[in-house]
């Protein structure tokens, strides 16, 4: 990051936890304070759903999915508690870091748009 003016990372729950474990919350906070780093946290995922698998009617559609446990407000303090070991300090550090982390969600409309697009495709 030394060679860049500012680094913008888009992270999933797994990446955020890994970043906190490898770099430590102190280093992340220092980068945030220097405006050298910004994080965007993806609170849900996009994937492919297969229906009627193994039949002539097999279909594949985009879906979005997530879990309340993977919302930033839940995963950040939980991970920091694991790393710090003190609930009060983990909560304070979590609040300080959250101010620097933007959240993003894949829109639910991906599901509807993919279904409409699949209706336009010719049968296989």
Q: How many CB atoms lie within 10 A of CB 9?
A: 14
Average pLDDT over residues 53-59: 88
Average pLDDT over residues 92-118: 83
Is residue 78 pLDDT above 90, yes or no?
yes
Q: Encode pLDDT of 3-34 as tens digits.
A: 677 899 999 999 999 999 999 999 999 999 99
Average pLDDT over residues 97-123: 76
CA distance 30 to 69: 27
Domain boundaries, the chain: 7-120
pLDDT-based confidence at 108, cuts 50/70/90? confident
What pTM, to 2 d.p., does this model score? 0.75
CA distance 112 to 103: 22
The SS3 of residue 16 is: helix
Instruction: Classify strands 59-65 and 37-42 as parallel, antiparallel or unpaired.
Output: unpaired
């Amino acid at each position: 990051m030394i060679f860049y003016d500012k680094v913008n990372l888009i992270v999933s729950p797994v990446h955020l936890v890994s970043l906190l474990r490898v770099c430590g919350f102190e280093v992340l906070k220092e980068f945030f304070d220097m405006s050298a780093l910004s994080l965007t946290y993806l609170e849900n995922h996009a994937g492919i759903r297969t229906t009627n698998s193994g039949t002539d009617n097999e279909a594949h559609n985009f879906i979005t999915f997530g879990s309340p446990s993977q919302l930033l407000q839940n995963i950040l303090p939980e991970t920091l508690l694991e790393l710090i070991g003190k609930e009060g300090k983990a909560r304070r550090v979590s609040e300080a870091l959250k101010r620097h982390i933007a959240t993003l969600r894949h829109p639910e409309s991906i599901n509807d748009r993919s279904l409409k697009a699949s209706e336009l495709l010719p049968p296989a």
